[in-house]
Amino acid sequence: MGQFFGPETQGIDIIKAFPDRVRKKTFLLTGIDKRELAVATTEALAQGEAAALILLGPSQPETQPQIDDINLKYAKTKVIYITADFASLASVREAADIINKLDVPIDGIIGYPAVIAAEWATTVDGIESHFQINYLSHFLLVNLILGKMPDASRVVMISSSIRPDSPPLRFDNPNFSEGKTYHPLDGYAQSMFANIQFMKCLATSYAGRSMGAFSVNPGNIKLIVQSYVSPEMVASWLQKKKQESEDLPLILQQAPNSLEQASATVLRALLDPVIKGLARH
C-alpha cells in the first residue's frame, strides 16, 4: 500500500514511513551552522536511529549546542563534525580527504545553502560568494566523495522557488561583471539554479548505479526568509523585476511552511523509494 503525504506532513512522519532507510545508515549534511531547517532535518534523522551523522561547517563551536542536544537525546546516533569552509575550495578538498578516510559508506548527502541574499562579496578563490558556497563547493565535495556512496544512495541539494526568477545562468560570468549587475537575491537565485542543473547532471551520469539526485524546494519558510531578507531588499528586487517587465516572483506567492513541514520535503527526497529515478526538481 502506497504512502500518502500532503502539505501537513512533517519530517518525523517521513522517518516513520521509511525506518529501514534511516536506521543504521550514515548521512552527511552541510550548512547546519545556524540553519534552522538543517537542524530540524538532522534531529529527525537522529530520531530515526541513523548510525552516524557527518556534519560539515566552518565552526564546530557554533554547532556544538545542536551536537550536544543530539548526543543527549539520541544515544544510538554518532555525530561526527568536520570543519570545512565552503568559501575555500582548498578547505573543501581537505574535508573530502577526511571523509574518504572514514570507514563508513555515505548513504545520503543533504546540502544546504549557507549564504542567503548576502551583499556583494567574493571568496578567497575570487568567486561570488553565493555561487561558490552554495553551489561550486558542493559540486566539488560530492564529486570527491562519490566513491563512498553505495548504489541506491541519494544526494539532495536544497533549492528554492526563487530559481525561476534567476537571471540566465552564465558559467562564464558568475561574478555578475564583478558586481556591477549584482543584486543579493539574484546572487542567491543563480546559486539555486546552478544546484538544480548539478542534480540533473548527476542523476543522468549515475543512473546505472541507481543513485538518486534531487533538488528540493522546501517552500516558503517565513522564519528563515525574515532572518536574511529585509523588506527594503525585497522592495528593491521587486522594483528591479518591474523595470524588467517580469511577473511577481513565485517565492512571494507561496504560503509559509513550518520547519517541520519543510523538513518533510527534504527527507522524502532522501528516503522515499517510490521517487527513485525521478531525479527532478
Q: What is the DSSP string of 185-229?
A: HHHHHHHHHHHHHHHHHHHHHTGGGT-EEEEE---B-HHHHHHH-
Question: Pick from 10, 45, 41, 70: which is nearest to 258 by CA?
Answer: 10
Q: Which domains does the chain have, with CATH numbers?
A: 11-275 (3.40.50.720)
What would the pLDDT profile of 130-169 be if each residue is shown by its tens digit? 999 999 999 999 999 999 999 889 999 998 766 555 567 7
Which positions ≥6 away from 154 have C-beta within 8 Å? Answer: 107, 108, 109, 211, 212, 213, 214, 269, 270, 271
* Strand 78-83, strand 212-216: pairing: unpaired
**Residue 251 scores a pLDDT above 90:** no
Lowest average pLDDT, out of 41-55, 68-82, 101-115, 224-238, goes to: 224-238
User: Is the CB of residue 123 less than 8 Å from the CB of residue 132?
Assistant: yes
Longest Cα–Cα distance in the chain: 55
User: Is the CB of residue 197 less than 8 Å from the CB of residue 169?
Assistant: yes
Distance in angstroms (rounded) separating the CA atoms of residues 67 and 72: 9
Question: Torsion over CA of 146, 107, 197 and 37, rounded to 10 degrees?
Answer: -130
Lowest average pLDDT, out of 150-164, 183-197, 221-235, goes to: 221-235
Distance in angstroms (rounded) separating the CA atoms of residues 118 and 66: 25
Question: Pick from 18, 114, 44, 3: which is nearest to 263 by CA?
Answer: 44
* Strand 26-30, strand 52-57: pairing: parallel
Greatest mean pLDDT range, 4-8, 135-139, 168-172, 207-211: 135-139
Lowest average pLDDT, out of 184-193, 194-203, 244-253, goes to: 244-253
| Cα-Cα end-to-end distance for the chain | 25
Tell me how far CA of residue 226 lies from CA of 52, 79, 105, 222, 241, in angstroms: 32, 30, 37, 6, 20
Instruction: Tally the C-alpha atoms within 13 A of residue 74's C-alpha that lie toward its C-beta.
Output: 21
Mean pLDDT of 9-27: 96
Distance in angstroms (rounded) separating the CA atoms of residues 37 and 129: 21
